[in-house]
Structure 1
Amino acid sequence: MRFVLASASPARLAVLRAAGVEPVVRVSGVDEDAVAAALVDPSPAELVTALAVAKAEAVAGDERDAVVVGCDSMLLTADGRLQGKPGTVEVARERWQRMAGTTGTLLTGHAVLRLKDGQVADRAAAHEATSVRFGTPTEDELEAYLATGEPLGVAGAFTLDGLGGWFVDGIDGDPSSVIGISLPLTRRLLRQVGVTVSDIW
């Protein structure tokens, strides 16, 4: 079974490889702002799921017989702000100064498309929510972390599986979802489109 990951995320790729899947990577190039703007007052969960669907659909046209999986993650902070990738050191610093010592919710939308003969034969989508308890890095630790560049290109300005893991005190929920793709949720969505995990190993 050809498994296509519609994501450039090295973390998602690493999760899948560690779980016995060698996906074909196709970067969607979706304009996330345009997708968000087309939605009418979406909830945070609806937004990340819609983005995941858009990413999967963007690469599906290049496939004939495959399973295509799209994902999107954002952090819902304790003060109710929804955050994607910060992009700059200044934004990442400000986010960490606000979220240090608090608990946020990492939301990851998932979409699975089953393609047969170049057509979408079935689809399933959902999201996973995981609570993340943030530590409080010292000013020097935060500046050193920001200088690595790691937090600039990841949802919520942190990682669980990289340098950011030093500053996460714990999580309540699925760790693979925080890294970028929930293995349990993906398994359930695959079953909804008639594919089992053993089909993709």
Structure 2
Amino acid sequence: MTSPSPVLVLGSASPARLATLRSAGIEPVVVVSGVDESQVGDLAPVEVAGALARLKAEAVVGRDEVPAGALVLGCDSVFELDGRALGKPEDPEEAVARWRAMRGRSGVLHSGHSLHDTATGRAVAATESTTVHFADVGDDEIAAYVATGEPLHVAGAFTIDGLGGAFVTGIEGDHHNVVGLSLPRLRLMVAELGHSWTGLWTAAR
């Protein structure tokens, strides 16, 4: 029998992750990790996502803003194209170049999850991967999309839940994972730590 679930702390500034949790009935406490994402060394894209998620969770655990006995969730997303890890583009020019390379092709969005139970000190981690297929968009569409600024704030320079959704022709895997947080995976992680997923619905503060 699982014990009642504690408050969930989201160690991320991502509005998309926050919206995903809220749509699932969870109102987390947000504590931004402030982790420098460039500190991870030369790792495979899937390993980068997992390593940064762990670092973000560890940076939040123990903060004064974290309620006693909370579950602390760190997440990070990395888009893989041609074996390279692509985070947020540094400027509009890079975003345009990314889209010219991605259009009409497919890549993989990796989202790392690291969940720490501050009551017990236990932690679990997992990385989910979803294949994303892109439309063969034209240069004018790419320019218009980049001009909105949206691609500059997300891994891989695209969204599936915003303006970029019209340029994604299909996915293989969890839709929420592309947004940055896999709800099915998180549910399993919560259970692995001995808590109730549905309890999070009523445990929100």
SS in 2 for 1:87: coil
Aligned equivalent of 2:149: 149
Residue type of the alignment partner of 1:60: V
SS in 1 for 2:16: helix
Question: 1:1-201 residue pairs with structure 2 within 5 A?
Answer: 1-34=6-39, 36-37=40-41, 41-62=42-63, 63=66, 64-77=68-81, 79-116=82-119, 121-201=121-201
Deviation string, structure 1 residues 20-79 (Cα, Å, up to 9, x no partner)? 000011110001112x13xxx5332222111001101111112331001111001111x2
Residue type of the alignment partner of 1:65: G
SS in 1 for 2:108: strand
Separation (CA, whole Å) in 2 of partners of 1:83 and 1:47: 10
Separation (CA, whole Å) in 2 of partners of 1:146 and 1:113: 36
Unaligned runs of 5+ in 1: none
Deviation string, structure 1 residues 155-180 (Cα, Å, up to 9, x no partner)? 00000000000100000100000001
Aligned equivalent of 2:3: none
Contact 2:57-2:114 within 8 A present in 1 as well: yes
User: What percentage of residue pairs aligned between the two structures are identical?
Assistant: 51
Residue type of the alignment partner of 2:96: R
Tell me how far 1:132 sits from its aligned partner.
0.1
Q: Which has the higher contact order (CA 8 A, sep 6+)?
A: 2
Q: Report the number of matched residues.
A: 193
Residue type of the alignment partner of 1:45: V
Flag as ranges the 4+ runs of structure 1 deviating above 3 A. none
Deviation string, structure 1 residues 124-181 (Cα, Å, up to 9, x no partner)? 0010000000112121111110000000010000000000001000001000000010
Separation (CA, whole Å) in 1 of partners of 2:90 and 2:16: 17
For the aligned residue pairs, the C-alpha RMSD in angstroms reads 1.0
Deviation string, structure 1 residues 73-112 (Cα, Å, up to 9, x no partner)? 01111x2221000031001000000010001000000000
**Superposition TM-score, scaled by structure 1 size:** 0.93
Tell me how far 1:198 sits from its aligned partner.
1.5
Separation (CA, whole Å) in 2 of partners of 1:98 and 1:137: 11
Separation (CA, whole Å) in 2 of partners of 1:139 and 1:31: 33
SS in 2 for 1:69: strand
